[in-house]
Amino acid sequence: MRARVREEAGQAVIMTVIFLVVLVGAAALTTDVGAWYRQQRQAQATADAAALAGAQALPASDTTQAQTLAQQYADANGGGVNDITFSSGFENNDTVTVDVKKSVPSFFANVFSIDHATVTATAAARAGVPNQVFGLAPIAVDKHHPDLTGPGCPCFDTSTTLCLGTACNNLPPGAFGMINLDGGSNSDPELGGWVQNGYSGYLGLGQYLSDPGAKFNSTPVQSALSNRIGTDLLFPVYDGTGGGGAGGYYNVIGWVGFHLTGFSGSGSSGQLDGWFTKVIWNGLQGTTDNNLPDFGVYSVELVH
């Protein structure tokens, strides 16, 4: 009887030891796997951010700047870049792909001869012409402006003027060059707010009503323009008009950035001074290539 008791006790000890080894091993692997998972998420965040940073310099025939931006941003946020490549989606070299690969050391898993794990992440970002934009200012720009569609244009960073008022060409009858962004009856302070801060919402392409009256000479609008001197504004570009008076409208086909350096106005006439500029803007790209007119405005998005 005593022999059997000792035998059963010995078996219990062995089972206990085995159970403890399995328990410790499971705890060790759980701890390390958790650490590896956190590192993988960090690697993905690094890849995403690096791709978005690189896309700020796209599309471009020379991708050197985009590669430098992506690498610098990755190095400052965890590193581990394995490769940076470029491809063409809707335009030439409009997409950057960043691959991150990092070796993560093990701690408890060394007991099982697992001294490290390799985590990987990939992200791609594209710069493209948006079909919706946020922060639009209510001043319409004619597509036929010589610095937009003249020979060799769009032409950026060259001093030019934008006409406002009844003396301008290609406006709907009774229009003054200002555009109604929300279809309502816009007050001078509301228009001034759109100049100062941009329209608070995403707006798409299509027909927009003309805003009647020379409101660019109102105090709220002129105050807003004064505050925006030295900054970039986003304007809608139209290729045609229709109607007249309160029913006049612009057919908006795209967007253009304008660096404002000054303005003037009197009565029903006025002008903005500055130059057209390329900008990365808050916008939404389409999922297919709609061959949108390219006036130098791009938004950046992660693509899958």
35-70: pLDDT as tens digits:
767 888 999 999 999 999 999 999 999 999 999 999
The backbone torsions φ and ψ at residue 197, rounded to the nearest 5 degrees and listed phi first, read: -120, -10
Per the DSSP assignment, residues forming a β-bridge with 104 are: 117
Q: What is the pTM of this model?
A: 0.85
The whole-number average pLDDT for the span 295-301 is: 97
> Mean pLDDT for the chain?
88
Q: Spell out the alpha helix ranges (H) of the chain.
A: 2-55, 64-75, 146-149, 188-197, 219-228
Residue at 90: amino acid letter = F
The whole-number average pLDDT for the span 10-15 is: 54
Six-digit token string for 40: 């993988």
pLDDT at 266: 85
More confident residue, 184 or 33: 184
pLDDT score of 134 more than 90: yes
Question: Is residue 171 very low, low, confident or very high in pLDDT (cuts 50, 70, 90)?
Answer: very high
pLDDT at 71: 97
More confident residue, 186 or 158: 158
Prior bond to 59 cis, omega within 30? yes
218-277: pLDDT as tens digits:
999 999 999 999 999 999 999 999 998 889 999 999 999 999 999 998 889 999 999 999
pLDDT score of 3 more than 90: no
68-122: pLDDT as tens digits:
999 999 999 889 999 999 999 999 999 999 999 998 766 655 555 555 678 899 9
CB 209 within 8 Å of CB 203: no
111-121: pLDDT as tens digits:
555 556 788 99
Q: What angle do CA 61, 280, 76 make, to 5 degrees?
A: 85
Return the residue matching tokens 């008076």: 245
